[in-house]
Amino acid sequence: MNWQNQNKLSLGDAYYHDLNLVLCREDGNYIPKSSLFNAFSRILKRVGLPSLPIHFLRHTHAVLLLEAGVEMKMFKNTI
């Protein structure tokens, strides 16, 4: 059972949303965009990388899929 489902069960009626989000707060609600951007910026700074937009991760994911030889049909559905 994944982390989100465990929280949903343990919080019961207090669980805020059932949106099946990839990233969410403990109560199931969405994480504000600014919080994600700030966390991403702190991580980059901590590991000594230059500031990048979070959308960069999507491009990195696409390149890694192509380099791994993922079929184009699967690639289009993922990206």
Residue-wise pLDDT tens for the chain (79 aa)?
A: 566 677 667 766 666 666 777 777 877 788 898 998 999 999 999 999 999 998 888 888 888 988 999 888 877 777 7
Provide, for the chain, the percentages of residues in helix, strand and coil under a 3-state DSSP scheme, each rounded to the nearest 5: 55, 5, 40
- Domain layout of the chain by residue ranges: 1-49
Is the pTM higher than 0.85? no
> Cα–Cα distance between 47 and 41 in angstroms, integer?
10
Main-chain phi, psi angles of 21, to 5 degrees: -75, 150
